[in-house]
Each structure stands twice: as C-alpha cells, then as structure tokens.
A and B are shown apart, each in its own frame.
Chain A
Amino acid sequence: GQSLEQPSEVTAVEGAIVQINCTYQTSGFYGLSWYQQHDGGAPTFLSYNALDGLEETGRFSSFLSRSDSYGYLLLQELQMKDSASYFCAVKSPGNTGKLIFGQGTTLQVKP
C-alpha cells in the first residue's frame, strides 16, 4: 500500500519563504510530484523529482531524499496568489505507474 503525510495547513506572510513537507510509505516508488490547486480549480503540475536533490523552477523548488522517504516543496517570495492547496503525489514504478496523491496542505498567505 501507499500513504503520504503532509501538514494540513500552513500560514505565512507575503514575501516570506515557506516549506511544505511530505513523507511517504510506498510498496514501490518511482518519483515525487507536487501539484497546486486553487479553490474551485483543477490541480496543476509544479514539479517532479525522481532523483535525490533539489529541483528549482522560478520561485518554487522541490527536494527529494529517497533514503528518508521524504520530500518538500519550497516557495520563496510568497505572493497572495500562492494561497492554494498543495499536494504531493507518489508515482509507482513502471511506464504506466499510477500517481497517488496526499491529502494536501492548505497554504494561506497573509499581507
């Protein structure tokens, strides 16, 4: 089976840096993804880590440690529009490996 744990809520102020952690327990692991979802909207892809280390895309970075079954999403220079839910998702092995989502972290950015 697979389980993912992430904090349910995080609050930060505009301009700050916030880190959203994700730990996972899976029977097979291929990679860790992050998705953003605004209220009433569709999830949108942010990043993917298959190997250990940090991946940077603009203000967002994602980190993976396979040995610790742990990853995080780092958001820098927070803006009001970053207020949303953030989901980590684990991809199981194989070219048709399925993507299993965590319960999500609601980020509230305050002025």
Chain B
Amino acid sequence: EAGVAQSPRYKIIEKRQSVAFWCNPISGHATLYWYQQILGQGPKLLIQFQNNGVVDDSQLPKDRFSAERLKGVDSTLKIQPAKLEDSAVYLCASSLGGRDNEKLFFGSGTQLSVL
C-alpha cells in the first residue's frame, strides 16, 4: 500500500516570497491533515479536511496561509508571504475518518527554511 506522498522534500525561500506544498493521501482516506512542526516541538494542527470540506482551521494563520483539497483527494498548502517564523517541517497526514480517525498516517514532510 502506498503511503502519504509529499513534495517537495526541502524548500529554501527568502522572507516575503510565496511557497506551496503538495500532498497525496493514502487512497480511500477521507480525512486529510496539515501539521506544522517546529524543531523540538510537537506537530501543530493547521487544517483538517473531511473529503473536500474543512473541518477545522482554527490554528491556520489565514492572513498568509491557505489550503485546498480538490475533489477530496490531493491537497495543497500555500504560504504567501512567508515569514522567518514559518521555518518548520510541514507534515501531511491522512486517516480513514469516522471512528478510525485515531490512526494517522504521515508523509515524510516538507522542510521549509525561510531566510
């Protein structure tokens, strides 16, 4: 079974530039998550989708971050403009949803460095 695919693996940009990350969840997984993980900290939930609808985006900095999940499958997360404090690993995860929501499968993440 293919896992959660993310790209790119690494990205280096300057502050005020824009960047986009892509995620392809495990086939059949209804729920998709984007987490931000700053070095030495736990993953912080940015946004959660159920199929193509947003379930929770309470911690998404909406003035600069946006995310979409087209047709309930792939998802993109965009930052525009980036700030120094956005340097982190951006993890995408998926789950079956419903009562099996507790088991998340994570991708390898995109490590973002903002200079």
| Interface of A toward B, CB cutoff 8 Å | 30-31, 33, 35, 41-45, 48, 50, 87, 89, 91, 95-104
A-B contact count (CB 8 A): 62
Which chain B residue has the least Cβ–Cβ distance from A33?
B102
A87 to B35, CA, bound (A): 14
The answer to whether A42 and B31 have CB atoms under 8 Å apart is: no
**Distance of B103 from chain A, by nearest CB (Å):** 5
A102 to B35, CA, bound (A): 13
A45 and B101 form a contact (CB under 8 A): no
In contact, A87 and B43 (Cβ under 8 angstroms): yes
In the complex, besides A97-B101, A98-B55, A99-B33, 6 extra interface pairs with C-beta distance below 8 angstroms are A41-B108, A91-B101, A96-B55, A99-B102, A101-B45, A103-B41
Complex contact B101–A96 (CB within 8 A): yes
Min CB–CB distance B86 → chain A (angstroms) = 19
Pick from B60-68, B76-84, B91-99 the stretch touching chain A: B91-99
B107 interface contact, C-beta 8 A:
yes
Q: Which residues of B contact A99 (CB under 8 A)?
A: 33, 45, 101-102, 104
Q: How many residues in B have their beta carbons less than 8 Å from beta carbons of A?
A: 27
Q: Are A95 and B41 in contact (CB under 8 A)?
A: no
Distance in angstroms between the alpha carbons of A56 and B67 in the assembled complex: 38
Asked if A98 meets B50 with Cβ closer than 8 Å, knowing A42-B108, A91-B102, the reply is no
On whether A48 and B106 interact (CB within 8 A), knowing A95-B97, A96-B48, A101-B42, the answer reads no
Question: In this complex, what residue of A is CB-closest to B31?
Answer: A96
- B107 cross-chain contacts in A, Cβ below 8 A: 42
> Chain B residues with Cβ under 8 A from A91's Cβ?
101-102
Top 6 closest pairs, chain A to chain B, by CB: A101-B42, A42-B106, A48-B102, A96-B55, A101-B43, A103-B42
Task: Verify if B105 is at the interface (C-beta below 8 Å from A).
Answer: yes
